[in-house]
Amino acid sequence: MELQNRVAVVTGGSGGIGYAIAEALGGAGARVVITGRDPDRLSQAALSLRAHPIQADVTSEEDVRRTWTDTLDEFGQVDILVNNAGTGLFSNLVDMDREAFDRVFATNVTGAMLMAREAARHFVGRNGGNIVNIGSTAGLRGAARGTAYYASKFALRGMTECWRAELRPHNVRVFLINPSEVITEFARKAGFRQPENPTKLHAEDIAHTVRSVLEMDDRGFTTELTVFATNPND
């Protein structure tokens, strides 16, 4: 797909992987919409990216609907949804807090579904479109303390396969990108230390992957792609 003048919506686009994806798509000529919850941070990111900002929380059905209405009013169409917004929680099962567990699923699973539902309604109507879900290698195997985050990424992977089966007859491509550990602020927010490390993946590596899979001709697509660092050193 030629990205020039395409319209892309990137959730969680004010920082980290989402910011890098928005930057990569904008660099390829796409018109980019970024969403985020923090208005100041969102405004700064939009100014830097020359993107259209929409303050929205993907866990809010009202915010999701407003995101699509605002985008369509501004650009008249949407060609790409990147479901990037995500949050993490890492806790032993015996210490798991129900409210924190629910928050992870609200963003990583329900939020992705709400955004994709509105995308699908638009894409089916125009007989074409692209949904890119940012998953994780956490969705490929379990690990200690991973009950909330890993399970949410397993769920996203399952939803991706369901959406792909439903939407292929409408010429909608549904991708899943599974990064391994990426150096971003996600770690700090999730409660663990992650020092800068040039041997591990950075946000721009995932952005490159997203741009690359989208740029393949529409007659084909990469269903799922996992990205590892070549030789990471702790």
In this structure, is the dihedral angle defined by the CA atoms of residues 37, 39, 43 and 45, taken in order, positive or negative?
negative
| DSSP code string of 60-110 | -HHHHHHHHHHHHHHHS---EEEE---------GGG--HHHHHHHHIIIII
Task: Establish how many alpha carbons lie within 13 A of residue 6's alpha carbon, considering only the half-sphere containing its beta carbon.
Answer: 22
CA distances from 170 to 16, 84, 126, 130 (A): 32, 23, 9, 11
Token duo for residue 233:
């050193």
Judging by beta carbons within 10 Å of its beta carbon (0-12, 13-18, 19+), is residue 103 exposed, middle or buried? middle
Token duo for residue 173:
């491509």
Alpha helices, H only, 127-181: 147-167
Of these residues, 19, 68, 149, 150, which one is catalytic? 149
19 is an active site residue: no
Other Cβ atoms within 10 Å of 95 Cβ, number: 7
β-partners of residue 202 are 183
Token pair 């567990």 is found at 101
Catalytic residues: 149
